[in-house]
Amino acid sequence: MINKEIIMMGLVIFIAACAPAWSRQASAAIAPSGSGDVSPESFLTRDPQRLALLRHQDAIRSGRERPGCINLPAVQCIASLGMTMFTDLTFTRSQGQSLLGDDPVAPGARIRPKTIIYVNASVNDKPYLDIFGVTLTTDDSEYRYVDSISIDLRDLAILLEHVKSPDEIRIFRLYRIFYPILTTACPNLSENYLNDFIYNKIIKNYTNYGYFQKICGVNVKYEEKKFIITEDY
Amino acid sequence: MQYRMAVVGLSLALAGCGSPPPPPPFTFPPPPRADAVVSIAPPRQAPTGLQLRDAQTAYGEPEEIKPQDAQLLEVRRHQGLIQSGQETMACMNVPAARCLASLATIARVRMFPRPEQTLFGDTPPDLTGRPGLAASIELDVLTNGSSTHKGPAKGTNYGVSLIVDEGTERNVQSIRITMVDAQVMLFGARTEEEFDRYQIYDLFRLIFARTCPGLDRKKLYEFLYLDVFDSYNVGASASRPTANHVPGGFCGYAVYKEVEVRKIKLNRQERYWAEKHWRPLSEISEYIVVKQLGNK
């Protein structure tokens, strides 16, 4: 009898201590459920937007589809960002909405599409550490083609604005944020090239501060702690 | 007691919980294959057609939201005639239904009549029996970006008002264009590519369809650049002859930019704060207006 208790106790300690550590090892993953401890598969099993997201993730991982964001479906953009970042869609579906944030409607009623999709993202491989606020602005079609992306650096902005050389940008890992977005047009984009661009054309460009600069087929500008990326054609 | 501790310690040691293995270091994913597609979803295209806003502010097919609307049927009839080639696309001095059908053929047109209104915004007769005919029809026009660009493109949103008369045909008297997306950018355009960027030609091609059938794209841009957009800076440039343009309108119509300046109402404290922080004290809206010559 005593032995059984002890074994159960050991089991409980084992689960409590080890289970979270295991699940957090998934780096650069999508967590539509919001918590690193809950598997996304247990939520939204029949949501067509989630199924589309899985299809895009699968296609991008297997190399059948190029990553990208601008003028592409929002789920493809989220899947692309998930290649290099930990992305979290909790905010869009905090009250029973679909993956991209559409409110639930009565059967037969018209869906009111949400055209602004809020994503929390981190390059630190752990949720809830140095989180960027990524906002996708889309059209209201079925596929939610992305018009622009805003990346809010939040607390890191003040540090980034005071760097003294392009090399110091490396610690912010901005390459991992921009890689999925810019790699559509520039497959060979290097980290040094991107850091030079951000340093010289964006942050230290006092004559054209807050104006759009062109790189890899998109327009990028920095204002109020945010990188704003729009189409350029 | 010692026995118990030993068992607990053994179970912890077996589980290996003292130091969970660190996460693997991040590596960039392999590049896409050579035959990779840009997207497995269909490419973005600017849609065309007519959409109406319902009471829940969602857009849908007009027939679902306003079934058996006589004006909608008239628009559909004109769309059929245009598609079969029996009628040309036109917008000025033609029935409003024909102008709407023309716009819906080349762009996505959205309208937002209230539930009690007809498609054009007419309300039922008032208590004296007079019909509440709408003076203008408000449209939200999304131009087709692929008309000037090869790849996927968003198109440009314009607010278009058709000012109509009160006859049975509701002929379009004048047109007023608001730039929803492109306010500063289009007025500041200097090159042909910058004008192409906003597909303004698509709208003026319809507006001038009857008087200038094969409107030249470059000539239109020159006219807009030299005469219409310049008037804000140079004053009365409508009477100022330029190298490429003789004053007196374009294709038989007067085209000019209208600037509306409205003071923002502020109390003493708000005004002090706004001046201190260089906030705007007035709102400016700019329109392009197309009217008949000598109709002012």
User: pLDDT tens digit string along B222-269?
Assistant: 888 887 876 544 444 455 555 555 555 788 888 888 888 889 999 999
Q: Does B36 contact A64 at a Cβ distance shorter than 8 Å?
A: yes
Closest among B183, B191, B135, B134 to B158, alpha carbons compared: B183
Please report residues of B whose CB lies closer than 8 A to that of A55: 40
Choose between B240 and B56: higher pLDDT. B56
What is the H or E stretch that residue A231 is in? strand A226-231
Report whether pLDDT(A79) > 60: yes
pLDDT, position B91: 94
Report whether pLDDT(A22) > 60: no
Q: Give how far B17 is from chain A: nearest CA, Å.
A: 6
| Both structure tokens of A88 | 């979290």
Residue A9: which of B8, B26, B57 has the nearest Cβ?
A: B8
Give domain limits for chain A. Answer: 2-231
Choose between B178 and B296: higher pLDDT. B178
Q: Does B40 contact A2 at a Cβ distance shorter than 8 Å?
A: no
**Residue corresponding to tokens 């918590």:** A35
Residue A110: which of B24, B58, B152 has the nearest Cβ?
A: B58
User: Would you place residue A55 in the very low, low, confident or very high pLDDT band (cuts 50, 70, 90)?
Assistant: very high
| Both structure tokens of B128 | 């004296």
What is the H or E stretch that residue A16 is in? helix A2-23
Torsion (CA) B231, B237, B243, B247 in degrees, nearest 10: 120
Report whether pLDDT(A26) > 60: no
CB distance A58 to A81 below 8 Å:
no
Residue B23: which of A25, A65, A231 has the nearest Cβ?
A: A25
pLDDT, position A33: 43
pLDDT, position A32: 47
pLDDT, position A5: 66
- Helix H, strand E, coil C: the string for A94-139 is CCCCCCCCCCCCCCCCCCCCCCEEEEEEECCCCCCCCEEEEEEEEC
Q: Does A67 contact B32 at a Cβ distance shorter than 8 Å?
A: yes
Kindly state whether A63 is in contact with chain B, defined as any CB-CB distance less than 8 angstroms: yes
DSSP A145: B
For all residues of chain B together, what is the average pLDDT? 84
Report whether pLDDT(B6) > 60: no
Residues A204-215: tens digit of each pLDDT: 888 888 788 999
Report whether pLDDT(A220) > 80: yes
Choose between B106 and B250: higher pLDDT. B106
Torsion (CA) B197, B202, B205, B206 in degrees, nearest 10: -150
For all residues of chain A together, what is the average pLDDT? 80
Q: Does B11 contact A84 at a Cβ distance shorter than 8 Å?
A: no
Report whether pLDDT(B283) > 80: yes
Report whether pLDDT(B160) > 90: yes
Report whether pLDDT(B127) > 60: yes
Helices A74-84, A174-182: inter-axial angle, 10-degree rounding: 140
In this prediction, residues B95-124 reach a mean pLDDT of 94
**Residue corresponding to tokens 């650069």:** A28
Most confident listed range (B41-50, B53-62, B108-117): B108-117
Q: What is the ipTM of this complex?
A: 0.72
CB distance B282 to B264 below 8 Å:
yes
Report whether pLDDT(B13) > 60: no
Residue of A nearest to B152 (CA): A71
Report whether pLDDT(A16) > 60: no
pLDDT, position A28: 47
Residues A174-200: tens digit of each pLDDT: 999 999 999 888 888 999 999 999 999
pLDDT, position A27: 42
Q: Which of residues 131-150 of A touch B (CB under 8 A)?
A: 139-141, 143, 145, 147
CB distance A230 to A218 below 8 Å:
yes
pLDDT, position B49: 92
User: Would you place residue A127 in the very low, low, confident or very high pLDDT band (cuts 50, 70, 90)?
Assistant: low
Most confident listed range (B203-207, B226-230, B292-296): B203-207
pLDDT, position B295: 47
Residue of A nearest to B148 (CA): A233
HSE-up (13 A, CA, CB side) for residue A179:
23
Residue of A nearest to B11 (CA): A10
Report whether pLDDT(A71) > 50: yes
